[in-house]
Structure 1
């Protein structure tokens, strides 16, 4: 392959990655065509892309994008998997597929410049997602205000009940005097 063609392929890979710096690498070469198609279709529905590439071209393209530390996992047949909501959702999806399809092998990945091996990807898939973390944080931020308002409403409700009880008692005494 000439340098010009390699350069064009590298540019195409860079364009397809579209700035994705968090990605996983899997070996899907042992999958039959039907399984491969259903796997890729399922990933596309979740806005996840899978790109089978030559390792040397992938290394050059990933250097241009700014992904480092992924060289150890780019050995043998490689498919770059990227996209989705976030890297945790991506790792959960790929781990689920690796359990369902025995021939799909997770090789590793790169998250924020850190290289991951297969065990790291599996550990990442057990982490809470971005939405779960944001909901926990917002709950922790809102809980002091909710506790304060509940305390104030509790005291106010008790006071209102006592005032009503006194008013009812006065009304009952007034009715008794008139009768």
Structure 2
């Protein structure tokens, strides 16, 4: 990927991080293409914006913002999808719905909700 392309993606991620009050980081590696497509449609219905990103680009976008997001850096490994929402618990409810249905679900890695960090699925 060209440096210019990376810069554009970093700016896009940073703009979304500023636009939305809350975001969740999830690992969607267990989902195949069809399940990922279904997840994207579910997110769209609930006004959740889903982006699959490279961890290094996400980290650079976080570094551009005001505030300290270092608590999230250790979980930026593997596959990462960002779920943006102005509704604080909409992404959590969607992930929980997948888990309750015993489907292969996105694994919650962490979240930034109401100016607080949550790391892992049990927080």
Q: Deviations over 1:46-73 (max 9, x none)?
A: 1001110000001111232446121122
2:109 maps to 107
1:52 aligned partner: 52
Contact 2:95–2:106 under 8 Å retained in 1: no
Q: 1:63 and 2:44 equivalent?
A: no
Structure-1 separation of matches of 2:39 and 2:75? 21
Structure 2 residue runs without a partner (length 5+): none
Deviation, 1:18, is 4.5
Report what 1:2 is aligned to.
2
CA contact (8 A) 1:47 1:83 kept: yes
Larger relative CO (CA 8 A, sep 6+): 1 or 2? 2
**CA distance, structure 2, for counterparts of residue 41 and residue 81 of structure 1:** 13
1:113 is displaced (CA, Å) by 4.2
SS of structure 2 residue aligned to 1:92: helix
1:141-152 matches, within 5 Å, as: none
Q: CA RMSD in A?
A: 2.0
Bigger strand share: 2
Counterpart of 1:75 in structure 2 is 77
* Unaligned stretches of 5+ residues in structure 1: 121-179
Instruction: Return closer, same or farther for 1:99/1:62 CA change in 2, 3 Å cut-off.
Output: farther
Q: CA deviation at 1:7?
A: 0.9
Task: Report the Cα distance in structure 1 between the residues aligned to 2:64 and 2:116, rounded to whole angstroms.
Answer: 13
The 5 Å alignment of 1:76-155 reads 76-84=78-86, 86-100=87-101, 101-111=103-113, 112-120=115-123
CA contact (8 A) 2:21 2:85 kept: no
